[in-house]
Amino acid sequence: MANVSRRVVLAAPAAALATGAISAAGGKMTLAMHQNTSAPAGYRKSLEGWARAGIKEVELTNTLLDEFLKSDTLQGARKVLDDLGLTPVHAAVGVVNLWEPHPENRAALDGLKRRCEQFGALGLKHVYAPCTTTQKVTADDYPRGVANMRNAAEVVKQFNMLLRIEFTRTSSFIATLPTVLKMTREAAHPSLSPMLDCYHFYSGLSKLEDLDLIKTGEIGHVHFQDVPDMPRELFDATTRLIPGDGVSPLNTILRKLADKGYSGPLSVELFMPKFTQGDPYEVAREIKQKSEAVMRRARVM
Predicted pLDDT of residue 16: 40
Domains of the chain and CATH, by start:
26-297 (3.20.20.150)
pLDDT of residue 291: 98
Q: Average pLDDT in the 140-169 region?
A: 97
CA proximity to 265, closest of 19, 12, 21: 21
Phi, psi for residue 206 in degrees, rounded to 5: -70, 160
- As a whole number, mean pLDDT of residues 148-166 equals 98
Which pLDDT does position 22 carry in this prediction? 37
What pLDDT does 18 receive?
A: 38
The pLDDT, as a whole number, for residue 11 is 38
- Quickly state the pLDDT bin for 19 (edges 50, 70, 90): very low
Mean pLDDT along residues 150-158: 98
Residue 89, pLDDT score = 98
Query: How confident is residue 237, by pLDDT bands cut at 50, 70 and 90?
Result: confident
Asked whether residue 67 carries a pLDDT value surpassing 70, the answer given is yes
Q: How far apart are CA 96 and CA 100, in angstroms?
A: 9
Return d(Cα 162, Cα 57) in angstroms, integer. Answer: 17
Average pLDDT, the chain: 92
Identity of residue 126: H
Share of the chain above pLDDT 90, in %: 90
Region 193-214: mean pLDDT is: 97
Instruction: Tell me the C-alpha distance between 206 and 283, whole Å.
Output: 29
What confidence category does residue 275 fall into, taking pLDDT thresholds of 50, 70 and 90?
very high
